[in-house]
Amino acid sequence: MENYEPKKLLILRILEILTEYSDAEHKLHQGDIISLLKVVYGIECERKAVARNIEYLQDAGYEIISDKSGVYLAEKKFEVGELRLLVDSVLSNRNVCKAHTKQLIEKLVKEGGRYFKNYARHVVNLDDYFKVDGQELFLSVELLSEAIAAKKKVSFVYQDYGVDKKLHPRREKPYFASPFQLFLKNGGYYLACAFEGHDDLAFVRIDRMTKIMIEKERARELSTVTGCENGLHLGKLMNRLPNLYCDEPQRIVFETRNYSENMLDYVFDMFGRETEVEELPSGELRFSLVASPRAMRFWLLSYGKYVKVLSPQSLVDKIKDDIEEMRKNYE
């Protein structure tokens, strides 16, 4: 192969070879590097040049280990576990369409080198995963991020699914809102915002937003939104609003009945470990937490055999009504 690259790129190509082909279990000899330089990049060089450039890279701070058994790049951008987590996160994220999922995973696998590919064999058939259609999500994220950084309002059309399994505009007139933050929750990608003419915080699915426009008008200050006077603390807020219902969080107390051994797991996964828990003399558990009554209502009903809500009374009454309506449905 003809030498189609200048020798001044030699140090860069050696670094790329060490990144792609070497790790602690796969060390390279200088002869291996020389062969790869010729085959992959069409560069011919001597052993002394390889050794010299490796020393330059070590002096520059790259953690390259060299001994009698060979040489390898010890420090990677990502560890194997980190890359697996990122690959699986992209794979399971339904907001990323199949085409973009494939592109992102290919980029991540490349970061791990050729030997990481064995860890990504489970990415074989994207048809097994539910994914949204189209690649608009990333453009929407970019636009919303730009609007948040510039503190500008946005306008958009919001869509809902119809019986034809297609998205349709909820209304012809666009919505106007002040955007504050993007976040992932329950497998969905959301925008925390305040709609024009409303003082409460709202949450909007980004994959349902179309025709997003950054407006010239300045967004309202977050401190003027109800409940955000001291900032937006999403971690605590998500525990209190697990289903993103925007009713006022209340102190809710409930006890286990017919004790389920996994109830602690279920409660902590849904509402966080700030939940207060007390073991009763009977061996049952009493929980106390601050959360959305509406979200708590549906959660408690799903575990109705195992729990009994004690307060507030308004929630107790609502669950009783729900149970009665459910009974009527099966008559």
Distance (Å, whole) CA 152 – CA 220? 8
- Residue 126 has a pLDDT of 60
pLDDT at 195 over 80: yes
Q: Does domain 150-232 have CATH number 2.30.30?
A: yes
Give the C-alpha distances (Å, rounded to integers) separating 133 from 101, 125, 130, 137, 184: 11, 16, 10, 10, 18
Would you list the DSSP string of 166-204?
Answer: SEEES-SSPEEEEEEEEEEETTEEEEEEEETT--B-EEE
Give the tens place of pLDDT for each residue, 35-75.
999 898 888 889 999 999 999 999 998 899 988 899 988 87
CB 323 within 8 A of CB 304: yes
Of 25-29, 49-53, 129-133, 289-293, least confident by mean pLDDT is: 129-133
Residue 256: strand pairing partners = 307
pLDDT at 7 over 80: no
Name which of 151, 157, 150 is nearest 213 in CA terms: 157
Average predicted confidence (pLDDT) for the chain? 85
Distance (Å, whole) CA 109 – CA 259? 45
Q: Does domain 250-329 have CATH number 3.30.70?
A: yes
Q: Does domain 7-73 have CATH number 3.30.43.10?
A: no
Say which residue, 39 or 110, is predicted with more confidence. Answer: 39
pLDDT at 149 over 90: yes
Length of the chain: 331
Predicted TM-score (pTM) of the model is 0.65
pLDDT at 182 over 60: yes
pLDDT at 3 over 60: no
What percent of the chain clears pLDDT 90, i.e. is strictly above it?
Answer: 36
- Report the pLDDT averaged over residues 252-269: 80
Give the C-alpha distances (Å, rounded to integers) separating 145 from 229, 235, 237: 22, 19, 21
